[in-house]
Chains A and B, each alone.
Chain A
Amino acid sequence: MIELKNLTKRYGKTLAVNNLNLSVARGEIYGFIGPNGAGKTTTIRIMGGVLAPTEGLVTIDGINMADDPEGVKRRIGFIPDRPFIYEKLTGMEFMRFSADLYGVDERVFRDKAEELLKKFAIFNWADELIESYSHGMKQRLIISSALLHDPTVIIVDEPMVGLDPAAIKMVKNMFRELSRGGMTIFMSTHTLAVAEDICDRIGVIHRGALIATGTTGDLKRDAGVEEADLEEVFLILTEGQQI
């Protein structure tokens, strides 16, 4: 479903992503972990078509991002790490905006938007300007709007930052449910418990390169520890290689 081939990104002289190869199957939840500045956000932005890679290919649902960016983007629900959205629109207007952009049918829009906003408990705020939302509320709104057009792939950068425990639990359950329904989810996170909890496979990125990938069990074997939890595995894998 998602396929990254020899992905490389340089910011001037900084090598942010170094020859990354990775594939995620349909219905899989893939967790992307790594220290600060490892290149997670960069990779995710390239996958979302927000950033052009220096080299390499992104293929989603069999379509190459470089060949048909609009076609690929229509299949993606993209959720960035920081919730910057149009402050002067109301929540509902923003949903409407997204729906128009992704070609959601007029007839299903109202119910769908209402359902999502209610699920994320921001329906009561739907007619307020976004500039008066809190960080977490904006995050909730963005997640709702990304799900509005039934994407086949969700690409999300640190989804849990700023969310309260109830919302985290809800998002976790929702992701599980969606993946059972065939949706592919690619998420980066620093909350290892979440990664361990819901991800089918996990990739560890460090200094732009993928240093380990597999199930939690695979990672433990790689790190040479069987008893430890993911946190310890993470520390061992990225040990002594401070940025």
Chain B
Amino acid sequence: MREILALLKPRLWSFKNGSYSRDAKNRKLKGLLFGTVGLLFWAGIFAIFYRVLVYFQGIEGFGDVLARKLMSMVLVTLFSLLIFSSIITSLTKLYLSKDLILVHSMPVSTAKIFLARWFESTIDSSWMVVVYMLPVFLSYGIVYKAGLFFYTMVGLSIIPLCLIASGISAVAVVLVAVILPAGRLRSFFIFLGFVLFLILLMAFRLMRPERLVNPDTFASLILYFKSLEAPGSPFLPTTWIFDGIQAALQGQVGSAVFDLILTWSFAVAAIFVITWISGATYFTGYSKAQTTAGRLFPARGRKKRERTYLLNHLSGAVRAFAVKEIKTFFRDQTQWPQIFLIIALIVIYLYNFSVLPLDKSPIKTVYLQNIFSFLNMGLATFVLTAVAARFVYPAVSMEGEAFWIVRSSPVRIRTLLWIKFCVYYAPLLILTEILIVVSNLLLHVTPFMMVLSVTTVFLMVPGIVSMGVGFGAAYPDFQSENPAQSVTSFGGLLFMILCAGFIATVIVLEAGPVYTVFMAGFRGGSLSTLQWMWLVVSFSLVLLLCILAVIVPMRWGERCLSRND
């Protein structure tokens, strides 16, 4: 036990020392920003669940069924999220972290190293999920007027749920590491990404969210839920937890405590078994994981020269960085789950448009279509922001410890930033335009709206990419072990918030005048001079905003990054 605590201490101390380190001056500001955004999300989740539960209660006969169904869905989602995030975290913590070499050289048994690492990974992977699940249970407690017993039960049940999820993931990772051939552990990420992709698609297919919009099928949906009231499998931990919390909600102390004991005893037993298995196999897998992988798609002799041929007519520095950027990106297998995730999200996004029962809705279709196409523009650019946050924002930090190469080379920081901009701009523009065109086609919007959205997106993509590069340059983290996750840092959050603001402003600026044009066309009248002026001013403002969004962040990022002290 003493050794396990000792192994956990460096992490605690680094956390504590955070206030002494270089960026201490921004700490208060950072705390405030993170606190505010976090609280807003928290409150938002609470508000949504509270509203939904109150609404359910109003439905004669089915209210409780629906509320129960919702909770069991929440628990299953929670459990799957926990499993997935623990797999990724424990893979990193147990096999890829740089300090592992030091840790394994210490006179501590494998099982203890495993336990310490596993504990860290459990906390890392579950704290956020848990924090954002609390408002869900809080809303249940309030709507059902539950007492202290319910809240205690929730608290006591979530802990073993996290332990079980992270335990299952850890043992899966440990076993996979032993089974996979040496150096292939990173390729596991690709596989994981693919599985995630399939799960997401299937989950969405099964839920068929479009039925919620369609009044014809809503009644049968309730019947459908009613039929699902059959209890979950008694072998699933989520079932025990669900039963326990439901019992607590209804004040049945005895059965709640029974389920709680069941969960806890399983969790504790699982930890023992997992530690035992890992003690025997973790080290073997760790040794294997240290072989660096051969390339998954090895270069085939002469062929590789052709692949960069498109870039061959570029000038020196530009080609150097462009080639490096693209190769590094595709050779890093840890990137792949996210690529799959993004593809899945986009497929789901487009799919939803194709099944929207627009014609069944009571509101006028033309009107709806236009609202939707503005909404769509916002959503598509927000998808772009998310993608940029994951890939463009970390682009500068990705240079990592090798950043001295740039600093000592005869290339200006400005050139570097613009190269990064161009490398990401082209694919992101194509992606967003495809997204917007396809979704607009599915929505059957007017040609005017089609042209408007394609143009607006064309103007906005450079701004968002530039903000990604600029903010990434202004808040670089060259020491990070996993720069891809730097989105969750101060700069990343700032980037997301400003992008959201940028998108919202552009859309509001456009939607107003477009609505009047539309209404005028509808009534067959023409626009007044004032309306024309409004139109011109609004669109000029949009253009100005988009230009500023490209120039200002790049300049700012360049200034910050050039200050090499």
Contact = CB atoms under 8 A, between A and B. Distances in A.
Contact of A100 (B299, B317, B400): B317
Given A70-B412, A101-B410, A86 B328 contact: yes
A31 interface: no
Interface string A87-111: 0111001001111111100000000
Nearest to B564: A52
Contacts of B400: 84
A232 interface: no
A51 B564 contact: yes
Contacts of B409: 73, 101-102
B411 interface: yes
Interface of A: 45, 48-52, 54, 69-71, 73-74, 76, 78, 80, 82, 84-86, 88-90, 93, 96-103, 127, 129, 131-132
Given A74-B410, A102-B410, A84 B316 contact: no
A101 to B, nearest CB: 5
Contacts of B323: 93, 96-97, 100
A101 B320 contact: yes
B404 interface: yes
Contact of A86 (B299, B402, B407, B411): B402
Interface string B386-413: 0000000000000011101101111110
B564 A50 contact: yes
Contacts of A129: 292, 295, 331
Considering residues A54, A99, A132, which has the most beta carbons from chain B within 10 angstroms of its beta carbon?
A: A132
B302 interface: no
Nearest to B330: A88
A103 B316 contact: yes
A71 B409 CA distance: 10
Interface of B: 292, 295, 299, 316-317, 319-320, 323-324, 327-328, 331-332, 400-402, 404-405, 407-412, 563-565
Nearest to A79: B408
B407 A49 contact: yes
Contacts of A101: 316-317, 320, 405, 409-411
Nearest to A70: B410
A100 B316 contact: yes
11 contacts: A48-B408, A50-B407, A74-B410, A85-B402, A86-B324, A86-B328, A93-B324, A97-B320, A100-B317, A101-B317, A103-B316
A128 to B, nearest CB: 9
Contacts of B410: 69-71, 73-74, 101-103
Contacts of B320: 96-101
B324 A127 contact: no
Contacts of B404: 45, 48, 50, 78, 80, 84
Given A49-B408, A132-B292, A88 B317 contact: no
Given A48-B408, A101-B320, A101-B410, A127 B401 contact: no
Nearest to A84: B401
Nearest to A49: B408
A51 B316 CA distance: 24
A52 B563 contact: yes
Contacts of B402: 84-86
Given A127-B299, A131-B292, A88 B408 contact: no
B398 to A, nearest CB: 10
Given A48-B408, A89-B328, 16 more contacts: A45-B404, A49-B407, A52-B565, A71-B410, A76-B408, A84-B401, A84-B402, A89-B327, A90-B299, A97-B323, A98-B320, A101-B316, A101-B405, A101-B411, A103-B410, A129-B331
Contacts of B411: 70, 101
Nearest to B333: A88
Nearest to A12: B22
Contact of A82 (B332, B401, B408, B564): B401
A51 B402 CA distance: 14
A85 B399 CA distance: 9
Contacts of A49: 407-408
A127 B299 CA distance: 9
B331 A88 contact: yes
B312 to A, nearest CB: 9
Nearest to B314: A100
Contacts of B563: 52
B565 A51 contact: yes
A239 B303 CA distance: 61
Nearest to A48: B408
Give 3 closest A-B pairs by Cβ, nearest first: A100-B320, A84-B401, A78-B408
Contacts of A93: 323-324, 327
Contacts of B332: 88
Contacts of A100: 316-317, 319-320, 323
A67 to B, nearest CB: 14
A82 B319 CA distance: 26
Nearest to A51: B564
Contact of A88 (B316, B327, B405, B407): B327
A70 B401 CA distance: 21
A49 B320 CA distance: 20
A175 to B, nearest CB: 19
A116 B392 CA distance: 35
Nearest to A127: B299
Nearest to B415: A70
Nearest to B319: A100
A195 to B, nearest CB: 23
B412 A88 contact: no
Considering residues B299, B405, B412, which has the most beta carbons from chain A within 10 angstroms of its beta carbon?
A: B405
B481 to A, nearest CB: 13
A129 B292 CA distance: 9
A54 B564 CA distance: 11
Contacts of B407: 48-51
A133 B324 CA distance: 18
Contacts of B319: 100
Contacts of A73: 408-410
A83 B401 CA distance: 9
A100 to B, nearest CB: 3
Contact of A85 (B327, B405, B564, B565): B405
A185 to B, nearest CB: 16
